[in-house]
Amino acid sequence: MELKRVVVTGLGAITPIGNTVPAYWEALKRGDNGAADITRFDTSKFKTRFACEVKGYDPKDYFDRKDVRKYDLFAQFGLIAADEAVADSGLNAENTDLDEVGVIWSSGIGGLMTFIEEVSGFATGDGTPRFNPFFIPKMIADIAAGHISIKYGFRGPNFATVSACASSANSLIDAFNYVRLGKAVAIVAGGSEAPVNEAGVGGFNAMHAISTRNDDPKTGSRPFDKDRDGFVIGEGGGGFVLEEMEHAVKRGAKIYGEMVGGGLSADANHMTSPHPEGFGAYLSMKRALEDAGLKPEDIDHVNTHGTSTPLGDIAEPKAIVKLFGDHAYKLSINSTKSMTGHLLGGAGVVEAIATLLAVKHDIVPPTINHFTDDPEIDNKLDFTFGKAREREIRAALTNTFGFGGHNASIILKKFVQ
């Protein structure tokens, strides 16, 4: 069958460096840093006392008091990002059959804070099970997708993807496939996460996965730097409206760009560590190129997973060189996690927004916090250290990888009708 073309007609984001897409993009270009001391809980006994929190967030600015009680923070972030994306797209009941619009929204963890509060309350009580009736609906990872569909009356495919830190990239790939197969005319896709709490920080501390650079949190996230010591945990979310091209053109929608390929793979190697040669990353990128019908030399920019972890930051560049060969040294590579931290299940879509806007505006945001080259990383690669760079970007690839060995790669390109 002939596959339909899929374009992006709406974007939404709430991030540690900007609470809307325009604010986020301007911050990326400036090289803003979202890391600071944690405000959400007392960190005095924790190994890590900083994170990339959403700044100036008050749920009452977005929701009435009754709804705040119903939504875990991850779902709040999801609804906010989806609301911006839907409004940006102009999609409504007057120009679209809402039966043909779906929602695929992800979270790697779901309502972790709700789980902490409810279980802690039971554990410190008298044993009587006095649980909030919203406990389960607030906690489950698919609830954000449900709330978004309820708010807008979207009755197309509706579910959540869960693949750890690759979750929202998976949601975009699933949405892309549903639309190009004709299963929906548009899908609101993305993800959100709210892991900056005692269990989230404590759990990642126990794994030695996150930076403990408490004396200098602003430089905690330093992808590809010799002295990196783990990622900086972040929160927030983002959303795309992916739409069938002819439907978008017919209704006169603004088009940011085109999604042309998605690749998925498994490392099949280790519970939390990447394949040391980046073989799973190589496969997901290769499959994305094949899916898009593009050659390696058609790609100008790669937004890496680039978490600032000791092993991951070595494996991914190896995979890039293996796939792209000599063209790897002509790529503009970056890691926007150096600015936002790692949004876990929300990372893939927030980085895909950065990648799409890089394609649209021909600007590669920088990788900040680079101080010392790592001899184990091919430093002939251009990691866009220090400041944003203007260059032609015809098509770009963005990577997202998750615990369990889940790998997802997405290709976005300029839209030409």
Catalytic positions: 165, 305, 342
Q: What is the 3-state secondary structure (H, E, C) of the chain?
A: CCCCCEEEEEEEEEECCECCHHHHHHHHHHCCCCCEECCCCCCCCCCCCEEECCCCCCHHHCCCHHHHHHCCHHHHHHHHHHHHHHHHHCCCCCCCCHHHEEEEEECCCCCHHHHHHHHHHHHCCCCCCCCCCCHHHHHCCCHHHHHHHHHHCCCCCEECCCECECHHHHHHHHHHHHHHCCCCCEEEEEEEECCCCHHHHHHHHHCCCECCCCCCHHHCCCCCECCCCCECEECEEEEEEEEEHHHHHHCCCCCCEEEEEEEEEECCCCCCCCCCCCHHHHHHHHHHHHHHCCCHHHCCEEECCCCCCCCHHHHHHHHHHHHHHHHHHHCEEECCHHHHCECHHHHHHHHHHHHHHHHHHCEECCECCCCCECCCCCCCCECCECCCEECCCCEEEEEEEECCCEEEEEEEECCCC
